[in-house]
Amino acid sequence: MVMFSQRISQQLQQRQQAGLSRQLQPVTQLNNGELIDQQQQRLVNFSSNDYLGLAQDPELQQAWQLGIAKFGCGSGASPLVTGFSSAHADLEAQLCEWLGFERAILFSSGFSANQAMLFGLMQAGDVLIQDKLNHASLMEAGSLCAAEMQRFKHNDIAHLEQRLPSQDNKPCLVVTEGVFSMDGDQARLSAIESVCHQHQAWLAVDDAHGIGVLGDNGTGSCAAAGIKPNILVVTFGKAFGLSGAAILCDRNTGDYLTQFARHHVYSTAIPPSQAYALSHAVKMIQTQQWRRDKLNDLNECYADQCQKLAGYVATKTPIKPFIYGSVNKVMLASEKLKQAGFWVGAIRPPTVAQNSARLRITLTANHSQAQVQQLAQCLIQLAQERSILQTSDMSFKSAACIDAACTDALCSKETATNELGIRGGM
């Protein structure tokens, strides 16, 4: 017990001394892009992943309430026992029809869906190749599963091709995110799919931050790129305004995961009332195009205001990283923005790489152009303050430049195991 206590205390102290401690901060979310913190300060929230503004929408609230009236509160069991209801079946069928797959399997979170996919599919002798900036759930499962895991430089098709040729005689799975959670950039899905096809490798895409936001009717990154991966993971905690996730795939793969994905077999199913509400969220995503149109307008507004600032990163998604590099500078910037009435999270190592600490600004359909313009003016003022002025070495525009130094050794499974704290995601 003493050894555990000493190690726990030492690691907590080390993180605190490095300025990297994280704290839970109770807040109350409002339906206008704002929140109320524990000091009862009203702040405009620029850290939420509620991209379409559904989380507090009265229409979706009513759908969940109706689901409770129809199905009760909890599922009471795992899906293979008695936890799978008609609401779950309807949601799975709806997702398949919308996204063009034969099977959908529901999970309680994107983290568990990603881990179920890799632990369920990958066996000894298989090869797993991941983008170096994939989410921690994918990196952890890849490092711990029986397969040989390699990583390729972020969005680097040439490096991916270098990884693939020697794997033609082995089952090989390539995994990427559709939209990367810390940088807001998009995977080069068309090129990645082409390379996978040439080498008979499967492709899996985690589209947590693209589904609902990109593509016709919100069908996501893959549809927008004109591709269909072998496996698609979608999550419900971002654009859907709720929580949970699903793996979409062909019928045989779905049947296999139903039998062998332990996160599915041995976890209590999501509440049927939640599945019912998620079905309504899908309908809202499909039919309420104005939410995506508004996001596009806000994207342009933000770019117009901020594109000349050092640290600005251009993206076509609602995720807008603003790079400071220094942990102290980004923490100071976040605090000054809070004093000005904005909640903007400071993202620090180990969630992102060393020397790439940033504000992670996210736009939602609940924001107004006036709120975005006011935030931009504060960022401009901060850039003029010498204490947190970005220096010329912040000329890089995304994590891809940080990743450029990635060697074969740095992209190994062993290195990934040591970096599991990085790319924690949101």
Is it the case that residue 415 has pLDDT exceeding 80?
A: no
Percent with pLDDT over 90 in the chain: 78
Of 54, 56, 49, 133, the C-alpha closest to 360 is 49
Give the per-residue pLDDT at 417: 56
Residue 58: Cβ-neighbour burial (10 angstroms; 0-12, 13-18, 19+): exposed
Domains 24-53+289-395 and 58-287 share a fold: no
Is it the case that residue 397 has pLDDT exceeding 70?
A: no
Taking each helix axis as running N to C, give the angle between helix 86-99 and helix 272-287, from 0 to 180 degrees, rounded to the nearest 10.
Answer: 30
- Annotated binding site for substrate, which residues? 22, 135, 351
Out of 132, 159, 209, 264, the active site residue is 209
Give the per-residue pLDDT at 409: 53
Is it the case that residue 115 has pLDDT exceeding 60?
A: yes
Is it the case that residue 23 has pLDDT exceeding 90?
A: no
Give the per-residue pLDDT at 416: 63
Out of 48, 75, 112, 135, the active site residue is 135
Q: Which two tokens stand for residue 5?
A: 């206590």
pLDDT in tens, 82-91: 999 999 999 9
Averaged over 4-16, what is the pLDDT?
A: 89
Confidence at 418, pLDDT banded by 50, 70, 90: low
Of 9, 31, 11, the C-alpha closest to 20 is 11
Q: Which amino acid is at 216?
A: D
Taking each helix axis as running N to C, give the angle between helix 110-121 and helix 136-144, from 0 to 180 degrees, rounded to the nearest 10.
Answer: 30
Give the per-residue pLDDT at 405: 46
Q: What is the mean pLDDT of the chain?
A: 91
Give the per-residue pLDDT at 400: 45
pLDDT in tens, 59-71: 999 999 999 999 9
- Annotation marks residue 326 as catalytic: no
Per-residue b or e along 381-409, where b marks 16 or more CB atoms closer than 10 Å to that residue's CB: ebbeeeebebeeebebbbbbebbeebeee
pLDDT in tens, 186-196: 999 999 999 99
pLDDT in tens, 158-198: 999 999 977 668 899 999 999 999 999 999 999 999 999 99
- Annotation marks residue 88 as catalytic: no
* CATH class of segment(s) 24-53+289-395: alpha beta
- With a CB cutoff of 8 Å and minimum separation 6, the contacts of 226 are 190
Single pTM value for the model: 0.90
The full DSSP string for 221-234 is HHHHHT---SEEEE
Give the per-residue pLDDT at 419: 58
The domain limits of the chain are: 24-53+289-395, 58-287
Residues 320 and 347 sit within 8 Å (Cβ to Cβ): no
- Give the position of tokens 């117009």: 304
SS3 288: coil
- Annotated binding site for pyridoxal 5'-phosphate, which residues? 110-111, 181, 209, 235
- Annotation marks residue 238 as catalytic: yes
Comparing 5 with 261, which gets the higher pLDDT? 261
Out of 47, 48, 181, 398, the active site residue is 181
- Annotation marks residue 181 as catalytic: yes
- Annotation marks residue 34 as catalytic: no
Give the per-residue pLDDT at 261: 96
In 97-208, DSSP assigns E strands to: 103-107, 127-131, 148-152, 172-177, 202-206
- Annotation marks residue 283 as catalytic: no
Confidence at 398, pLDDT banded by 50, 70, 90: very low
- With a CB cutoff of 8 Å and minimum separation 6, the contacts of 255 are 103
The full DSSP string for 340-358 is TTEE-PEE-TTTS-TT-EE
Give the per-residue pLDDT at 15: 87
- Annotation marks residue 367 as catalytic: no
Averaged over 362-389, what is the pLDDT?
A: 89
Give the per-residue pLDDT at 91: 99
CATH 3.40.50.720 fits 58-287, yes or no: no
